[in-house]
Amino acid sequence: MTMAFHTLRWVDDGTVEILDQRRLPTGVEYLRATSAEQVADAIRVLAVRGAPAIGCAAAYGVAVEAHRLSKLPAADVRSGLPAAFRVLETSRPTAVNLFWALNRMGTVLARSTDTTGAGIAASLLREARQIHAEDIAANHRMGALGAALLPHGARVLTHCNAGALATAGHGTALGIIRSAVAAGNPVTVFADETRPVLQGARLTAWELQQDGIPVTLLPDVAAATLLARGAIDAVIVGADRVAANGDVANKVGTYPLAVLADRHGVPFYVACPRSTLDFSIATGAGIPIEARAADEVTGFGGVTWAPEGVAVFNPAFDVTPASLVTALVTESAVIHRPDRIKLAVLDTAERSPSA
């Protein structure tokens, strides 16, 4: 399927173009970032969001900064770039793809033997483009693997936006749906609106409409009713970070969905690329959860409905225990009932791809 939009892309004059997701669905507007600081800001304010898209944006953030410095001698580019890494690292804490992508960019920088600033910038841009291309390819493989899990005419419930908008393209959870539809399965989607930032209402509903995939929007609290009625065949969500034991951090509201799916005997699938797996964190309890501003909960779009001064609890993500995950779908495998041992096997296989 050809997408009618691009989430982010490199423009050859040394800018990264980012679809400003704060304006969707009413406006399709692109930001043009020419420094790491501007890219970090776009991540911080959710102009670009979704774990894999954040990783790609961070990689381009380094590339854009290197391009900005590229007329300087190589030594000055090398000494100027650590500040760019620092500003990008602190943009958001939960999606591990951000740190994974910066780590890849840092490795390229450390290993580069380029003797000019322009050479270093070219090496970094090549790696950012590679990260971007790999993400799209991973999503297509994940889509094919995940589509095979869905019955004909499946009614799929999803939460937040784990689509093309949240990745370099195609999507993770929505990538599975796209691949199933492309293979002739008439899947229909139920999209949680996803309080408080409404990624489901603003982004998932819009993205699926662009592709002509039937979508029904619901308040998050109505998911229980659908599941209890037997109106859902599968729940599919994305992830921001998966711990070594298979616990999943994703948009707040994912954990209650997993509990509900378990209660009603509906499979609960998590789709994410391997870049979302964090083997350095033993369990979900160790995943840093972003706390976001109170005004996301006390009102929206300039309108405030809660009394002034009320205390607010606004975690951006929650953690679903691995025991509630029917299967984890990555680009290399479907891991049924993920646990520490199954994920360690996957990790080992990846470290020695010829094995």
Q: Enumerate the active-site residues.
A: 240
Q: Does 160 bind ligand MRU (CB under 6 A)?
A: yes
Instruction: Identify the residue whose tokens are 């580069």.
Output: 112
Closest CA to 251 of 187, 177, 168, 163: 163
- Gap between the Cα atoms of 14 and 214, Å rounded: 38
Distance CA 149, CA 207 (A): 22
Cross-strand bridge partners of residue 158: 191
SS3 call for 192: strand
Q: Would you say 85 or 317 has its CB closer to ligand MRU? A: 317
Among 240, 247, 318, 331, binds ligand MRU (CB under 6 A): 240
User: Please, what is the minimum distance in Å from the beta carbon of residue 61 to ligand MRU?
Assistant: 16
Q: Read off the DSSP letter of residue 302.
A: T
Instruction: Please tell me the total number of residues recorded for the chain in this structure.
Output: 355
Rounded Cα distance between 98 and 165, Å, is: 16
Contacts with ligand MRU, 163-182, as mask; x by CB under 6 A: ---xx----x----------
> Between residue 253 and residue 292, which ones bind ligand MRU under the rule CB under 6 A?
none
Whole-number Å distance between alpha carbons of 355 and 345: 11
Distance CA 264, CA 95 (A): 29
Among 18, 33, 40, 50, binds ligand MRU (CB under 6 A): 50
What's the CA gap between 3 and 327, in Å, rounded?
A: 28
Residues 119-158 binding ligand MRU (CB under 6 A) are none
Measured from the CB atom, is 181 or 191 closer to ligand MRU? Answer: 191
What number of other Cβ atoms are within 10 A of residue 262's Cβ? Answer: 17
Nearest approach, Cβ of 102 to ligand MRU (angstroms)?
17
- Smallest separation (angstroms) from ligand MRU to the CB of 31: 16
Nearer to ligand MRU, 70 or 94 (CB): 94
Q: What tokens were used for 68?
A: 């900005």
Q: Does 49 bind ligand MRU (CB under 6 A)?
A: yes
Nearest to ligand MRU of 61, 238 (CB atom): 238
Reduced to 3 states (helix: H, G, I; strand: E, B; else coil), residue 183 is coil
List 42, 162, 226, 243, residue binding ligand MRU (CB under 6 A):
162
Minimum CB distance to ligand MRU, residue 157 (Å): 13
Q: Which is nearer to ligand MRU, 1 or 122 (CB)?
A: 1
**Among the listed residues 19, 10, 74, the one whose alpha carbon sits nearest the alpha carbon of residue 203:** 19
- Could you say which residues in the range 76-115 bind ligand MRU, by CB under 6 A? 95
CB closer to ligand MRU out of 70 and 91: 91
Binds ligand MRU (CB under 6 A): choice among 149, 257, 261, 316: 316
Nearest in space to 230 (alpha carbons), one of 154, 119, 312: 154
Among residues 239, 242, 258, 343, the one that binds ligand MRU under rule CB under 6 A: 239
Q: Which residue is nearest to ligand MRU (CB)?
A: 238
Helix (H, G, I), strand (E, B) or coil at 200: helix
Look at the block and give the residue holding tokens 């959870």. 173
Instruction: Give the binding site for ligand MRU (CB under 6 A).
Output: 49-52, 95, 160, 162, 166-167, 172, 199, 238-240, 250-251, 316
